[in-house]
Amino acid sequence: MSRRSELPLDRIIRGSSVGRIMTRIAFAVVMLIIIAPFFVMLTTALENNRAISELPPVWWPHHNAMDFSVISVRDGLRGET
């Protein structure tokens, strides 16, 4: 039996280490593109109206903006607008 055939099956399927790293990087980019809009949705949900339309965009909501969101959700659940 040749030496190569003695490698674990997952290594055989994955190929060379350079190819593996390139594949991982490309996969990370694809996943980032898939997930990024949801990150925007989540942060938008936690920001106040002024922060939503700010440029450059606010990627991580300020503390008081999160408070504002919590208050909005609480008021919404109570039926108050």
Partner 1 sequence: MQSRLFPSRSPVGARGPRGRLTGIGFVIPAAVLSLVFLCYPILDTFWLSLHKVNEFGATQGFAGLGNFTAVLRDPAFRASLLRSAMWTVVVVVVTTALGMFVAAVLNQPWRGRAFVRALLLLPWASSLVVTTLLWEWMANANYGALDHLLRQVGLGGGTTAWLGSATYALPLMMWIAIWVSVPPTALILLAGLQGVDTEIYEAAALDKVRGARLFFDITLPLLRPVVTVSVLLNVIFVFNSFPIIWILTQGGPVGTTNTLPTYMYNLGFELYEMGEAAAVAVIMFIILLIFSIIYTRLSWKNLAR
Chain residues binding partner 1 by CB under 8 A are 1-2, 4-5, 7, 9-10, 12-16, 19, 23-24, 26-27, 30-31, 33-38, 40-41, 44, 52-57
Please identify, using beta-carbon distances, which residue of 49 and 78 lies nearer to partner 1. 49
Three-state secondary structure of the chain:
CCCHHHCCHHHHHHCCHHHHHHHHHHHHHHHHHHHHHHHHHHHHHCCCHHHHCCCCCCCCCCHHHHHHHHHHHHHHHHCCC
Least Å from the CB of residue 30 to partner 1: 6
Please identify, using beta-carbon distances, which residue of 7 and 70 lies nearer to partner 1. 7
